Amino acid sequence: MIKTAARALAAAALALLPLATTVPAHAAETLSLHDAIETLPQAAESRDGYERSKFKHWIDEDKDGCNTRAEVLIDEAFTPPNIGPGCRLTGGSWFSYYDDKVVDGPSGLDIDHMVPLAEAWDSGASQWTAARRQAYANDLDAERSLVAATARSNRQKADQDPAQWMPPAAHAQCPYLADWVGTKLRWSLTVDRDERNALRRLAAGCENTDVEYERV
């Protein structure tokens, strides 16, 4: 898996640093979904000043010819696509867990920001630097920050939070809540009152669901 390989290379690079070098790190944390929801800081939301262009996305961070969108598609495919010149992807198969659909070929897929860019802006990203917003929009280091989903489900979701939209597939509900809450915790994003109340209500049937995250 590309993300796993990237993490292994990063760990190897850190091992070569001089002992005197201090490398800031955050330990991975695991909470029950209930506790994770209560850990989220609460604040009012504001979309003032939001523009999608303030989150530079689909970059080629590692300069291997494949941008973030392609990296996610390659990583999440259960039948690997063919990778042509310029990282053009053909063939391959994916499972869109939002709506329980198998998709053949990459053209029917969108890459969904688990917490949409506009929602992130509302929840604290408006105060970030441009560099941090770019890192958020291209986060390949967390398994569920970016998700390959059918174009239909992604566009139905748009910029809505769980108070307004949840995946239509019943089995997707608890994993989606964990992915949403984990992403907000990872990036220290807030929730408003309606969102927290919706998360509490929706999580009532997810007793055995944990949230795993690592803050950045």
Reported as a single tens digit per residue, the pLDDT across 92-112 is 999 999 999 999 999 999 999
The domain of 127 spans 2-213
> What does the alpha-carbon distance between residue 128 and residue 150 come to, in Å, rounded to a whole number?
30
DSSP label of 42:
B
pLDDT digits (tens, 9 = 90+) for 8-20: 333 343 333 333 3
185 contact partners, CB below 8 Å, separation of at least 6: 29, 36, 39, 40, 211, 213, 215
Q: How far is CA 62 from the centre of its chain?
A: 19
pLDDT digits (tens, 9 = 90+) for 27-51: 899 999 999 999 999 999 999 999 9
Cβ–Cβ under 8 Å, residues 187 and 136: yes
How many domains does the chain divide into? 1
**Radius of gyration in angstroms for the set of CA atoms belonging to the chain, rounded to a whole number:** 18
Q: What are the φ/ψ torsions at residue 8 (nearest 5 degrees)?
A: -65, -40
The single-letter code of the amino acid at 216 is V
pLDDT digits (tens, 9 = 90+) for 47-83: 999 999 999 999 999 999 999 999 999 999 999 999 9
